[in-house]
Chains A and B, each alone.
Chain A
Amino acid sequence: GESVGLHLPTLSVQEGDNSIINCAYSNSASDYFIWYKQESGKGPQFIIDIRSNMDKRQGQRVTVLLNKTVKHLSLQIAATQPGDSAVYFCAEPTQDNDMRFGAGTRLTVKP
Chain B
Amino acid sequence: DAGVTQSPTHLIKTRGQHVTLRCSPISGHKSVSWYQQVLGQGPQFIFQYYEKEERGRGNFPDRFSARQFPNYSSELNVNALLLGDSALYLCASSLVTGELFFGEGSRLTVL
Contact = CB atoms under 8 A, between A and B. Distances in A.
Nearest to B99: A46
B90 A104 contact: no
Nearest to B49: A97
Contact of B56 (A43, A46, A49, A98): A98
B48 A41 contact: no
Interface in A35-65: 41-46, 49
User: Could you say which interface size class chain B belongs to?
Assistant: 20 to 34
A2 interface: no
Given A43-B92, A97-B48, A98-B33, A103 B102 contact: no
A44 B48 contact: no
Given A43-B4, A43-B104, A45-B102, A100 B90 contact: no
Given A43-B90, A45-B102, A97 B42 contact: no
19 contacts: A34-B99, A42-B105, A43-B4, A43-B92, A43-B102, A44-B90, A46-B99, A46-B100, A96-B45, A96-B56, A96-B57, A96-B58, A97-B56, A98-B56, A98-B58, A99-B33, A99-B43, A102-B42, A104-B41
